[in-house]
Structure formats: C-alpha cells, structure tokens
Amino acid sequence: MRGLRRCLRAGCLGGLALCVCLPLSVRAQDAEPEAPEEEAPPAPEPEPPRGLSPPRIVASTPPRYPAGRISEGLHPSVVLIVTLDESGGVVDSAVEHSADAEFDAAAQEAVRSWTFAPATRDGQPIASRIRVAVHFELPAFDVATPADGGTSVEAGHPGPHGEHSHGAEPSPPVEAPPPEEAPPEPAAPVEPAEPEEPAEPEEELGVTAAVERELRDAERGASSFDVERDLLSIAPHQDGADLMLAVPGVFVARAEGLAVGQRIQLRGFDADHGQDIELSVGGLPVNLPSHIHGQGYSDLGFLIPEVVHRVRATEGVSDPRQGDFAVAGSVGFELGVDDAHRGWRIESGYGLYDTFRQLVMWAPEGERTETFGAVQYQHTGGFGQRRSGDAASAIIQVGARSGSWRLRGLGILYGARADLAGVVRVDDVEAGRVGFYDAYAQPTAQAQNALSGRFMAGFFGDYRGRGDDTGAFRIWLGADTFRLQENFTGFVQRSRTLADTAGRGDLIEQRNQTYSAGVSGRYRTEAWRPWDWAGARLEVGLDGRLDFVDQAQNLLAMPRNQTWDTRVDASIVASNVSLWGDVEITATEHVTLHVGVRSALLLYEIDDRLGNFVPLVRPRDGFIMGFRRSAGGVTVGPRASAEVRPTEWLKLRASYGEGYRSPQARTLDDGEAAPFTTVRSADLGAIFEHERLLRVAVSGFWTELSDDIAFEPREGRLERIGASRRLGAVLYAQARPLDWLLGSLSVTYVDAELLEPPPPSADDPQPAFVPGQNLPYVAPVVIRADVGVHGTLAEDVLDQRLTGRIGIGYSFLSPRPLPFGGMADPVNLFDASAGLGWGPVDLGVSFYNLFDTRWAASEFLFASNWDPTGIPSRVPARHLSAGSPFTFMVTLGVSP
C-alpha cells in the first residue's frame, strides 16, 4: 500500500472533491523552465561514472492543473529535486525552480505518485536524487484513434534516460506542449557518488529525467478500454493475439493451428477471423478485404507479445477514425519496449508436445520506446493429431524525431505452415470412433494444412505545430499470401463441373493473395477559444487504400490433390477512400462533446472467371464462362460522443455511431451500388478512476447490424444470415492496490438476437436460422480475470537482486447457441505463470489450461458425413475443434 500511503500523505484522497480534474499534461524535462524560441539540438549526453547507473522514471501521472488558474492560460514548469530511496521510492521533493505555490504543490503531489527505478552502483540499488521538471499544460482537445495504435506525438526532447511514461493512463486527455515550449536541453552532467561509499539520500546524482509524454488520443466511447503492458503480461500468452483476452468482452481461440487466424469474439459478435473488428498493429491495418476465408480476415500470428506496449479497444462505433470492419469495435496494438525491458533479450522456451519458442529482441537503451527489433520462431508438435506447425515472425520499428515531426518506420514479416486436424463430430467422439484431439483417419482429413505469409511496412509521421495543432500521416504497404486445405463436411460434396463425379472428399482448397497499399493523413486545428470556459477544435482526415486480390477455391481429391471441382477463381481490385471530420467542443472543465461524420467511397473491379457457369449443363458451350464487372458505393455515418466529468474521479460518457463493413466483392453484381453492412451502435457508461489505483467502468450498449454473417461449413467461409441486434452491458475493473499486486476483471453480458434471417427457399427449405433466435456462436456471458503479484524476494543473492512473479488468468464463456438450435458447452480456462528473475537471467514457467479442461476452440452444427462406406448422415450435428489441453512451457531468458 505504499503508493496509497503516499497518496494519503499527500492528501490527495481527502482533497479529491477539491481537485479539479482537467486534461493536463506532464513532462519532466530539463531543469530550465524557460523555453527558447527555437528548438536547440540536444547536447551530447555526459557519460556517467563507470558502474553508476542513474535513476529512471518508470511511470508517471500528470499533475493536476490548479482549477482556479485555468483562465490565466499559463504553461508553467516546476523543477523539483526528488530524493529516492534504494527501492526507487520517493522520500522527499524540494522545489528548485518555482512557478508559484499552487503549481509547486501540484507538481510535488504528482511526483509522489510516480514510479522510479533506483539508481545503481555496480548493479546495486542506491539512494539518489534526481532533478525533475514538471510541466503544466492547459486542457487539451484530443481525438481518439482507437484502431490507429502507435500514433502519438512527442512532447519534449527525450532525455538521456527519459522514457515514455504511461502511468497516467487511464487519465484525462493529455496534451503535450509544442516543441518551442519544451526545448531540449543538455542534461546536467552526472555527478558520481563516492564510489567506495554508499550513496546517501542527500547525494544528488545530477541526473535530469526527461519524461516524454505521448500524445495519447483520448478515450471517447463509453466502452473504450486501454490495457497497459503490466496488465497484459500477468497471465501467460501462447501468442500475441492472446493479449486481447485482457480486453473486456473478448475471447480468442486458435482453432485452426499456427497458420490460420484466430477466432475472436467481442461483446456479442462472433468476429470469426476478425471480420467485425477493425484490427491494427502499430498503426498498420490488419484486416484483409474480400479475403477468400472471410471478409476482413485477420491473422495476428505475427504478433510478438513482448513488443506489445498497450492494447486499446474501442467497443462499438463512436469515433470518425474508425473505418471498415469497425462493427463490433476496434482493437489497436501499440508496439514498444519499455525502459525496464530494453537492451538485448534472448529467450528460449520448451514445453509439452515438443513446443519450442525462440525470441531474440533488441531494444537499444537510450532510444525511444518504439525503437526495437524482435524475431520469433515457434514450433509445436501439436497436442493431438495433425497439429504440428512452424511459424516465424520479425518486427522492426524505429522512431526518430525531426523538428516538429516524430517519425516512425515499422516493418513486419511473417510466415507459418501448420497441419490441421479440422473438426470432429461430437457423436463420433462419444462413440469412440475418433478421439477428441484426433483427426479423422481418411486421407482427405489427413491432408488438412495451411500456409500463410505476410509482409507489412509503414512509415508514420506525427506532427505538432507551434500551437496545439497536430497532424499525422501514414503510408503503408502490405502483401499477404494464404493457402488452406480443410475439410469440414467429410464426404457430402458433388462436383459442379464434372457431372458424374462426387464423394471424393470435401477437402476445400482456398488460396488468396492480397497486395495492398494505403495512405492516410489528418490535421487537427488549434483550439478556438471564444470564451475562457469553452473552446472548439476541428479535425479532418483522409484514409485510402488499394487492394489487389487474387483468390481461388477448389475441391481436392486425395492422394495427389487432383482438383475435382472448381468453386472460385477471381481477381478483385478494391479501393477505399474515406474522409472524416470531427468537431470537439469543450464547455467548462466538465463537458466535452464530439460531433463528427465519416464517409467512404468503395470501388470494386471483379474478374470472376467462373461467372455465368451453370452446373451440369451439357454441352459445355451452352454457356460462356467469365463475368467481369465493377461496382461501387458510398456510405456516410455520423459519430458523436459526450463526456461529462462531474468530479475528478467520475466520468459519464455516451456515444453513438454508424459504421460499416465493406462487402465481399464477389457477391456484387455489375453496376450494383455496393451494399454496405451498416452498424448502429450506442453506448452509455460511467468510469470511476483513482489514478492508477483503481479504475472501474460500467457501460451498457446497443448494436444493430443490417446484415450479419456466419460461418458456412460447406464452403468453409462466411455467408450472410440477415440483420441482428445486440443489447448488453460490460463491467470492467483494473486495480493496482499494492505495489506488488495488480489485477483486472471484466464481465460482459449480451443478448444477441437474429432479426431477419433469409427466408426458406427451394435451395434452402430449412434455413439454419429463424427470426428471433439467439445469434449462433455468440456466448452471452464472457468473463475474464487476471491477477498478478510480483516483487523482490531478496535484495542480494550472489550480488544480484532476486525477484519473483506469479500470474493467473481465467476465462469463462457461457454456452453458445449454435445453428439448428444446438448449444455449445461452456468454457472455463485457467492459465498461470510463475517466474524468477536474478540479475540478467529470468526463468519462467507457463501453464495453459491448468485443470486440463476439455474444451472446444470452435464448435459448429452442420451436416457432415465422415463415414464414406456407411449410410450417410444428413441431419446437422455438433462438430468441434479441440482446444489445447493442459500444457506448460519452461522459459529461460537472458538480458545481457
């Protein structure tokens, strides 16, 4: 409770009612508070004495701008000399450069809540002093980019030991000062303490800390959540996508092996491989339009968990920057390596089922958080039949600053190939005809596998003007290849091209290659303040992308993969140009309104080489194959939100937005006004927060979708199932009650209803869905809990500190409705991890599915026949793809 005690000492709890909660920024910078007109180049950093390492700021919260001083429009800085003990705790702070008493007090109060890494001499922590500058900014007007992770603007010069601080999050919107207000200054030379004597608190190392403050886009929707690195890393993760488990309402499972995208659920949406979630990594869009395996297909297999700095989720639609696929919401992964983990890291892990993981990561010390390189290789023998696979990924990101611009380059390369077990019928499992973790023995089942590869590269720039205007641009390229052989239905298919051919096994081959390029930019004006108590800002933006897609789907016959039917052979050129505008209005320090609109023009050119084909018609020249066509459409959707802050610790938010999902291009007719799937989403919620100690968010939501889609096993892809509606609520809590204890809990409930499924037809006389039924595959209740403890076990073990950590993650999915009235079993999963750190060495063990629960990573209900020599089944039956049983991995990491 040290943090709390500090806070109590500072009287911040008692003074909550008096504190005015305004969006402020914090930046500790160089000692000089006065800003020169022009930015000066940073001076060379003096070398600290050998063996002496200065203290570092690990996390910081912004100071509170004194409520009564806002109208003065000041941007003062207070320079403090902060005394730290051997553990990095703040013992005392003294004002070296005063702004005035109110600002001084606010700065000292803020610094008391900061987290420091202690100075060390020869690796041993020592007491020290550090000079810290705390900068005050007037309220800012930020616009969120929920899926645009990685976009941020530097607040000041990164000092020699400066580091991003995210301790303020979740926090009021923060704004960084323009460069001219925050000039880089040479750091004061490091003054070594007497090498032979332990450093005393009164010794000042003379290190100047510089806290670089990201320009964090403000959370806007009532259901917007930031999950920071410390919470993300509590429970073990088998891959980067698993980090999303910590996001409220999300469940992630990898049912199809290492080379196929994860199945993601988000508050009432079975987003399958991501068609309903706008996903981005480091600002690069992940969703692939018109993908053969599903619209908006996303595979996050390339993500290396160690380089994910933060996950930001905006559930629902509330922000004009949310674009295509933001139906259930947007999830952005921000990449970076914090100061505590910089340097080299080489980590090897080996576990059950011949699972191996090798990580090599380098984050140069002294460089920006976003600068790092990481390479990962994974291999698994698989926990059951046909589940082996290999995957490798590399992520390199470099950040730099040039004048008013902060620039960033990001490159991602990924490749994977894995065998697939496919699905098994539950009745076959129960009858012992096939094992729960097995694959069917038929050659068509034993031939299931997948291969994927992806390359993405982006160049980003964040601009901060001389006023508080900001801007950003993004240029990116991408290439993706995907090939899948998967059999869901066994032996029920007939050839449409070979009239007398049937029953060769429903091994679907899907191939998809996408080449993409995109550009986006935005500009936000300075605040226009007609009155002291009110102001407004305007943001405009443009987002465009071009995708070249080549795709095919066939049926393959074993043993030599002969093509015995051809289902899809098409090329698509898709372009998407979007414009948005957003006005932010603040009225007093209590109210912020956003009103915006986003419009998109989508154009498609389709070369459907199997178009016009009529099955079973003879002679073949009775029709002429091929159907080239073009289509396009425009969508416009409003976005609005309001935030009211009646007290410092309470925010009330409401939001409404209309978003869209682009169509699968092959479904469009010539000249058709592209039908967009539109979503209307409204959220209402309240957020209680007390700095980093506790944050509780409660929200209710309503979402209506014009045309939902669901998995169609016969074709192995998504098909339309009609309009749907979701109504639900989310409870989310983050707590860091003690220095060594942290945790989070989320409970999501949703009633998801299908409103207008396709009516019965001659082709489909008994549709799988009826009006009013619960949406298939959607779990009404999703619960996630993470609890972690960490701390120092011994200060000196063979001249090194010994630390320990334990983390537990729990996921619950209530029974999920399936098509044809089926119901999937609930899911209860516990994961746990433990580790010891000794100097540069870290030994950890991760347990997955701790209680060895049998669970289905995916479950379906459809007709299949897996007995080619027996009487075929035609009634839809439950099928599942097994989730991982209990497994563990031992990891040894070295940070030389």
Q: Of the two residues 463 and 769, which places its CB atom closer to other proteins in the complex? A: 769
Nearest 5°: the CA angle 341, 346, 351 is 110
Strand pairing class (277-281; 562-587):
unpaired
| Backbone dihedral angles phi then psi of residue 524, each to the nearest 5 degrees | -120, 130
CB nearer other proteins, residue 18 or residue 770? 770
Place of tokens 């429903």: 506
Site for other proteins in 730-749 (CB under 8 A): 749
Provide CB contacts within 8 A for 505, sequence distance 6+: 442, 443, 444, 487, 490, 491, 555, 556, 557, 558, 868
- Least separation in angstroms between CB 707 and other proteins: 19
Q: Which two tokens stand for residue 551?
A: 């795709």
722 binds other proteins (CB under 8 A): no
Instruction: Round to whole Å and give the CA distance between 170 and 225.
Output: 8
Structure tokens at 22: 């305004």
Q: Does 822 bind other proteins (CB under 8 A)?
A: yes
Q: Is 841 in the site for other proteins (CB under 8 A)?
A: no
Of 13-21, 247-255, 605-613, 773-781: span binding other proteins (CB under 8 A): 773-781
Q: In the structure encoding, which two tokens stand for residue 618, read together?
A: 């003879």
Q: Which is nearer to other proteins, 11 or 760 (CB)?
A: 760
Which residue in the set 50, 431, 869, 896 belongs to the binding site for other proteins (CB under 8 A)?
869
Residue 863 binds other proteins (CB under 8 A): yes
Rounded Cα distance between 132 and 70, Å, is 23
Q: Least CB distance from residue 760 to other proteins, whole Å?
A: 7
Nearest-approach distance from CB 100 to other proteins, in angstroms: 56
Dihedral, CA atoms, 27, 30, 32, 35, nearest 10 degrees?
-60
Give yes or no for residue 614 binding other proteins (CB under 8 A): no
- Per CB under 8 A, 820 contacts other proteins: yes
Reduce the DSSP state of residue 426 to 3 states and report it: helix
| Residues 484, 450: Cα–Cα separation, whole Å | 4
Task: Report d(CA 288, CA 303) in Å as an integer.
Answer: 16
In this structure, what DSSP letter does residue 648 have? T
Give the 3-state DSSP-derived string for 96-148, with helices as H, strands as E and coil as C. Answer: EECCCHHHHHHHHHHHHCCEEECEEECCEEECEEEEEEEECCCCCCCCCCCCC
Q: Does 770 bind other proteins (CB under 8 A)?
A: yes
Task: Check binding of 88 to other proteins (CB under 8 A).
Answer: no
**In the complex, minimum distance from the CB of residue 700 to other proteins, in angstroms, rounded to a whole number:** 15
Binding mask 565-604 for other proteins (x = CB under 8 A): ----------------------------------------
| Residues near 667 by beta carbon (within 8 Å), at least 6 away in sequence | none
607/744 Cα distance (integer angstroms): 49
Q: How far is the CB of 362 from other proteins (least distance, A)?
A: 47
Q: With binding defined as CB under 8 A, does residue 343 bind other proteins? A: no
- Dihedral of CA 153/155/156/162: which sign? negative
- Smallest gap from Cβ 868 to other proteins, in A, equals 4
> Strands 207-209 and 128-135, how do they pair?
parallel
For residue 754 the two structure tokens come to 């299908």
Nearer to other proteins, 351 or 822 (CB): 822
Shortest distance in whole angstroms from residue 65 CB to other proteins? 44
Determine, following the binding rule CB under 8 A, whether residue 763 of this chain makes contact with other proteins: yes
The answer to whether 361 contacts other proteins (rule: CB under 8 A) is: no
Using CB under 8 A, pick the residue from 471, 780, 809, 893 that binds other proteins.
780
Contact 292, 261 (CB under 8 A): no
Check binding of 620 to other proteins (CB under 8 A). Answer: no
Least distance (Å) between residue 714 CB and other proteins: 8
Shortest separation between residue 496's beta carbon and other proteins, angstroms: 12
862 binds other proteins per the rule CB under 8 A? yes
Q: How far is CA 646 from the centre of its chain?
A: 30
Q: How far is the CB of 409 from other proteins (least distance, A)?
A: 46
Is 773 an interacting residue with respect to other proteins (CB under 8 A)?
yes
Structure-block tokens of residue 140: 């800012």
Asked if 189 and 46 count as a contact pair (C-beta separation under 8 A), the reply is yes
Residue span binding other proteins (CB under 8 A) among the ranges 275-283, 380-388, 546-554, 762-770 = 762-770
Q: Does 774 bind other proteins (CB under 8 A)?
A: yes
- 616 belongs to the binding site for other proteins (CB under 8 A): yes
From 35-43, 462-470, 564-572, 812-820, give the range in contact with other proteins by CB under 8 A.
Answer: 812-820
- In the bound state with other proteins, the residue whose beta carbon lies nearer, of 729 and 845, is 729
Residue in 671, 765, 799, 896 binding other proteins, rule: CB under 8 A: 765
Taking the least distance from each CB to other proteins, the nearer of 526 and 712 is 712
Looking up tokens 């009634």, which residue turns up?
875
Give the shortest CB-814-to-other proteins separation in angstroms: 4
Q: Closer CB to other proteins, residue 176 or residue 768?
A: 768
Distances (CA, A) of 686 to 654, 655, 715: 9, 12, 43
- Site track for other proteins across 476-505, x = CB under 8 A: ---------------xx-x----xx-xxx-
Output the smallest distance, CB 866 to other proteins, in A: 11
Query: For the stretch 798-826, what's the b/e string if a residue is b when 16 or more beta carbons lie within 10 angstroms of its beta carbon?
Result: eebbebbbebbbbbbbbebbbbbebebbe
d(CA 875, CA 761): 18
Gap between the Cα atoms of 169 and 672, Å rounded:
46
Q: Interface with other proteins includes 823 (CB under 8 A)?
A: yes
Nearer to other proteins, 763 or 799 (CB): 763
123 binds other proteins (CB under 8 A): no
> Is 671 among the residues that bind other proteins (CB under 8 A)?
no
- Total interface residues for other proteins by CB under 8 A: 49
CA neighbor of 162 nearest in space, from 121, 211, 195: 211
What DSSP letter does each residue of 500-564 carry, written as one string?
A: T-B-S--EEEEEEEEEEEEEEEEEEPPPEEEETTEEEEEEEEEEEEEEEEEEEEEEEETTTTEEE
Q: Is 618 in the site for other proteins (CB under 8 A)?
A: no
Sheet holding 284-285, edge to edge: 224-228, 308-315, 329-335, 277-281, 284-285
The residue from 868, 890, 892, 894 that contacts other proteins (CB under 8 A) is: 868
From the list 396, 558, 601, 781, which residue makes contact with other proteins (rule: CB under 8 A)?
781
Q: Does 815 participate in binding other proteins (rule CB under 8 A)?
A: yes
Compare residues 563 and 773 and give the one whose CB is closer to other proteins: 773
- Please, which residues bridge with residue 347 across strands? 359, 893
49 binds other proteins (CB under 8 A): no
| Contact positions vs other proteins (CB under 8 A) | 491-492, 494, 499-500, 502-504, 616, 749-753, 760, 762-763, 765-766, 768-770, 772-774, 778, 780-781, 814-815, 817, 820-823, 826, 862-863, 865, 868-877
